Chains A and B, each alone.
Chain A
Amino acid sequence: MKQVTNDPVVQEKKTLGFWIYLMTDCVLFAGLFATFAVLHTSTFGGPSGAKLFDLPFVLVETMILLTSSFTIGLAILGGARGFKKQTLVWLIVTFALGAAFLTLELTEFSHLVADGNGWDRSAFLSSFFTLVGTHGLHITIGLLWLLVMIVRLWKFNFRQTDLNRLALFGLFWHFLDIVWIFIFSIVYLIGGLS
């Protein structure tokens, strides 16, 4: 039976709803950024950001995430034109880049913890781990979503609903990119250089 979920009005509602969800997420990150701003000097005798952050390493992370934002764009363009193979390839590339980003982030975290600079060391590190970790958690959810989408596109041959969801995923992924830019500038650049 023909579904009404493909109705453009229905899709418009979903897009608006998703945008609003993203904005609420933005408020959540704003709360974490504000907390970081208040607590970033509360090192409690422990190391500050300048001592801990490895800026070239973080730059690599950043470039990987930015590239994945580009590749998801290519996937969406491919999807809109109905190029199945191209879309799938770019989705898989995006997944790989996202996974690489996450691996690097976890590597950084494990180094910090191993050196005795875990989240329980000081209020500064608590807020650092929570802010960056929350972004990482979003990336993890994004990877899960991506995985489900790759399977569906591959199996069900590009239904309209899947393409619509792909567009929403694009918004989500770009949003995480923008949040990361702020994390990179405020946490790492300003915190790491001062």
Chain B
Amino acid sequence: MFNTLSQIIFGRLTPSDFVHDPIMAGAGYAMIGGLVLVVLALTYFKKWKWLWRTWLTSLDPKKIGVMYLIVSVIMLLRGLADVLLLRTQQATNGSAGILTSDHFQQIFSAHGTIMIFFVAMGVIFGIFNLIIPSQIGARDVAFPLLNSISFWLFAAGMIIINAPLVVGEFSTAGWLAYPPLSELQYSPGVGVDYWIWSLQIAGIGSLLSGINFFVTIIKMRAPGMKLMMMPIFAWSVLCCTSLIMFAFPILTATLGMLSLDRLLGMHFFTSGGGGNPMLYVNLIWAWGHPEVYILVLPAFGIFSEVVATFSGKKLFGYTSMVVALVAITILSFTVWLHHFFTMGAGADVNTFFGIMTMVIAIPTGVKVFNWIFTMYRGRVRFTTPMLWFMGFIVTFTLGGVAGVLMSVPPADFQFHNSLFLVAHFHTMIVGGVLFGAFAGFAYWFPKFTGFTLNERLGRYAFWLWIVGFLLAFVPLYILGFMGATRRLDHYDPSLGWQGLFIVAGVGVLLICAGVAMQVLQVIVSIVKRNQNRVGEDPWNGRTLEWSIASPPQVYNYTVIPTVTYRDEFWEMKRRHHTIKPEYTDIWLPKNSATGIIVGLFALIFGVAVVWHVVWLVIVGVIGVIVTLIIRLTSDETEEKLTAAEVAKRELKRQTV
């Protein structure tokens, strides 16, 4: 009687699910402790109303962008802590005795998932939100409310993936949860369900965000800005969002089918009942490979802006850059099978995908040469964004060549699942996406704060990172050749791998020092901000976002510019052309709590499904539907900023 009642109320949640080993419990309590501290601080300083009004309910993409970045940074620290544990385990070959095999598996699954979905994705959406509207001469995104909902779904997914630190366990099935291991038969616990619902909820947020920015770029460019006049970053985002629109629905469908297998006993990917696990592997990579380009295309865009600005030249080969971006976008859907050449699709199929993989390296190569030619005969200023660019171009080329090496199916039979592969994709994603994000952060930081980041600490951070990065991953390439496979929590000492694992561990420590230096850099820059104050255009920029105030007003532009040149702001400066201030009424979206409430109900829904709490699932679904209906049937969603008010703001800004 008591048991059935508790099952109805709590599903499969029992008190013992809160019991964890010391490391996990420590991480969980640290997270909760941090949260409690934040809550206490907010209460003590009476900042709740401020937080609610200026941040949580804000529909301003600049605010939403900052919130994305904050979540991503916290998740980067979490992912890094995971790595420290993994590498300690491998460098000591398990003799430190801190991790059980089961815990080791949970950590590498969490590390991969968190770094891709909640660091890399969060960072690129953060930068989209901050940059895209102002770069194309717009005041806002196409659908401000949808933007807020996307962010809060992302945040809900983030909470779900961190919940296992406190209650239950995480998936042990790797970052892509291949069946049949991820099926109920072999993973009966809540781990895989946490994985599924975290990704499902965050993934829907990403899809909505993709649609939003695509429409923003198509419909809201400043008058005169034809597609071929757009800054290359905007082009990269246009291509990236197209990929999101085609790839993320596949992820939604695939995760949906896996969860139906687990919840309703269906047989999509089970080893019995006629299911086909290979189907899952195909579907997940039909999303997964485009996902790689979803992450890296915006980074390409950032580097294109950075290298042109700091070389004082227009970007070399703009048209070929655009063609390369579009080519990569299309080709990225034709290479997914190279992730599993060893599955046995046959020589013909493997050959096709092998060749396509080599072909996709060509447009990427075009871009590398364009960047180098942009620097050629330019006045290159070696600021931190440029250092990240230089680091990127070297490591990315090396990692890319390693990728082409693996595109040859017979060679891949050797490299498959080895540390060589692990080293390859880390070179691409750390050296490409993260370095791109760091470059973009240092480059655009003054736009949103009015002061630059500390250059000296930025250089220290870069050198710690690049040395640590090479030390951490070059040994993995070698270990891969020596036969070390991925995801090993121990190995035979006679293999002689330990030395290289120790070197890799030292590399991770240096990377951690680099991250610490970056945190220090931000803190020092904020404390000493008065020494680094700059105006609107600290780098002698080329694109429109540098023409508006730093930090920008909520409406970005008082007068929407009319565009006649590719590097419009550069031309404006060259021709001493200034836009006459002319103040008009500006309509802005009102704050709305809809996003955070939808996110909250999505979170409730996700957790309830994981723990099989039926009544709470119903509460979650009804909550989302009712909130959306209430919002969509209310009409007064915008408010007017009068011309007089705009004029007052502008005057105040200019006198300060």
Chain A residues near B (Cβ < 8 Å): 1, 3-5, 9, 12-14, 16-17, 20-21, 23-25, 27-28, 31-32, 34-35, 38-39, 42-44, 119-124, 126-127, 129-130, 144, 148, 152, 159, 161
* B257 partner residues in chain A, CB cutoff 8 A: 35, 126, 130
* B635 partner residues in chain A, CB cutoff 8 A: 3, 5, 159, 161
Contact between B249 and A24, CB atoms less than 8 A apart: yes
Q: Which of B214-222, B548-556, B563-571 contacts A (4 or more CB under 8 A)?
A: B214-222
CA distance A44 to B272 in the complex (A): 9
CA distance A43 to B273 in the complex (A): 8
Set A27, A35, A122: member contacting B274, Cβ < 8 A: A122
Given A3-B635, A120-B265, A148-B633: A44 and B273 interface contact (C-beta under 8 Å): yes
Contact between A27 and B246, CB atoms less than 8 A apart: yes
CA distance A126 to B259 in the complex (A): 12
- Give the contact-size bracket for chain B: 35 or more
* A27 partner residues in chain B, CB cutoff 8 A: 245-246, 249-250
Contact between B215 and A120, CB atoms less than 8 A apart: no
Contact between B636 and A3, CB atoms less than 8 A apart: yes
Residue of B nearest to A133 (CB): B260
Q: Which of B275-283, B292-300, B429-437 contacts A (4 or more CB under 8 A)?
A: B275-283
Contact between A44 and B267, CB atoms less than 8 A apart: yes
* A20 partner residues in chain B, CB cutoff 8 A: 211, 214-215, 245
Set A1, A120, A148, A161: member contacting B264, Cβ < 8 A: A120
Set A9, A23, A32: member contacting B245, Cβ < 8 A: A23
B319 at the interface (CB under 8 A from A): no
B9 at the interface (CB under 8 A from A): no
List 28 interface pairs A-B (beta carbons < 8 Å), by A numbering: A1-B636, A1-B640, A5-B635, A5-B637, A13-B220, A14-B143, A16-B219, A17-B215, A24-B207, A24-B245, A27-B246, A27-B249, A27-B250, A31-B253, A35-B253, A35-B268, A39-B276, A42-B276, A44-B273, A44-B274, A119-B265, A119-B266, A120-B264, A120-B265, A121-B273, A122-B273, A123-B273, A152-B633
Contact between A13 and B215, CB atoms less than 8 A apart: yes
* A14 partner residues in chain B, CB cutoff 8 A: 143
CA distance A115 to B148 in the complex (A): 47
Shortest Cβ gap from A43 to chain B (Å): 7
CA distance A27 to B218 in the complex (A): 21
Chain B residues near A (Cβ < 8 Å): 142-143, 207, 211-212, 214-215, 218-220, 245-246, 248-250, 252-254, 256-257, 260-261, 264-268, 270, 272-276, 279, 283, 286, 587, 625, 629, 632-633, 635-638, 640
Contact between B267 and A120, CB atoms less than 8 A apart: yes
* A148 partner residues in chain B, CB cutoff 8 A: 629, 632-633
Contact between A21 and B253, CB atoms less than 8 A apart: no
CA distance A127 to B286 in the complex (A): 19
Shortest Cβ gap from A136 to chain B (Å): 14
Shortest Cβ gap from A23 to chain B (Å): 7
